[in-house]
């Protein structure tokens, strides 16, 4: 038996060799269009792939039922904005920690953590960009100003990093980067509202 979001499907799972074939059939059927899979249960036990294409190794002869739970893409986007809010907080904490390590002359550890912070910030900005393009977000001046401020800071911090002026880098992180990151809380809130509005249209 196959159940998707509480609805029994007219698909006989015994007609497939493995779980992957069943997933492909479901995808081709269009049932999951504009949906994001959140959970899969096989014989009432949660299933998630530990390695790529593990579903090919799940023999359906031993399976009585498969349940797939999903949420709509806009709903998933709202969830992503909630996670982005947490990321803003993590970026702020990271900046404070790196600044403190530089001031304690723990340069090697500070540089490693600084690189992680920059990577997280880039990923964060990338995800914001994806959300804005997918949901045709409004051009909020808060977004433009926050982007320009962070971009200018990246340039300045790169120059300071090249000169190996760790104390100045600590000051930039604490007194400029941290407030710049905190501005993104408002931007994320606006994005969330835009996603919700798009969902209602």
Confidence band (pLDDT; 50, 70, 90) for 137?
A: low
Q: Residue 189 pLDDT > 60, yes or no?
A: yes
Encode pLDDT of 70-97 as tens digits.
988 778 888 888 889 899 999 999 999 9
Cα atoms found within 13 Å of the Cα of residue 127, Cβ hemisphere only:
23
Q: Residue 154 pLDDT > 70, yes or no?
A: yes
Answer yes or no: are the C-beta atoms of 131 and 191 closer than 8 Å.
Answer: yes
> What distance in Å separates the CA atoms of residue 49 and residue 33, rounded to the nearest whole number?
21
> What distance in Å separates the CA atoms of residue 31 and residue 144, rounded to the nearest whole number?
38
Encode pLDDT of 46-67 as tens digits.
998 888 889 999 898 889 999 9
φ and ψ at 71, to 5 degrees? Answer: -135, 160
Encode pLDDT of 105-120 as tens digits.
988 999 999 999 999 9
Answer yes or no: are the C-beta atoms of 91 and 121 closer than 8 Å.
Answer: yes
Q: Residue 18 pLDDT > 80, yes or no?
A: yes
**Residue 11 region by backbone torsions, left for phi larger than 0, else alpha for psi between -120 and 50, else beta:** beta
Rounded to two decimals, what is the model's pTM? Answer: 0.67
């Amino acid at each position: 038996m196959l159940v998707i979001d509480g609805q029994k499907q007219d698909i006989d799972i015994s007609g497939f060799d493995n779980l992957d074939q069943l997933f492909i059939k479901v995808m081709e059927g269009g049932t999951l269009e504009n949906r994001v899979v959140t959970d899969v249960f096989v014989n009432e036990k949660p299933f998630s792939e530990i390695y790529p294409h593990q579903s090919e190794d799940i023999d359906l002869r031993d399976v009585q039922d498969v349940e797939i739970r999903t949420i709509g893409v806009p709903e998933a986007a709202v969830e992503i904005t909630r996670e982005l809010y947490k990321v803003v907080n993590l970026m702020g904490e990271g900046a404070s920690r790196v600044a403190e390590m530089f001031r304690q002359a723990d340069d090697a550890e500070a540089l490693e953590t600084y690189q992680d912070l920059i990577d997280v910030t880039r990923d964060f900005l990338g995800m914001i960009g994806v959300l804005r393009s997918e949901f045709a977000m409004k051009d909020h001046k808060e977004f433009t100003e926050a982007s320009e401020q962070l971009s200018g800071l990246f340039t300045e911090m790169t120059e300071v990093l090249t000169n190996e002026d760790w104390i100045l880098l600590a000051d930039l992180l604490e007194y400029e980067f941290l407030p710049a990151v905190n501005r993104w809380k408002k931007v994320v809130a606006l994005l969330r509202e835009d996603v919700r509005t798009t969902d209602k249209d």
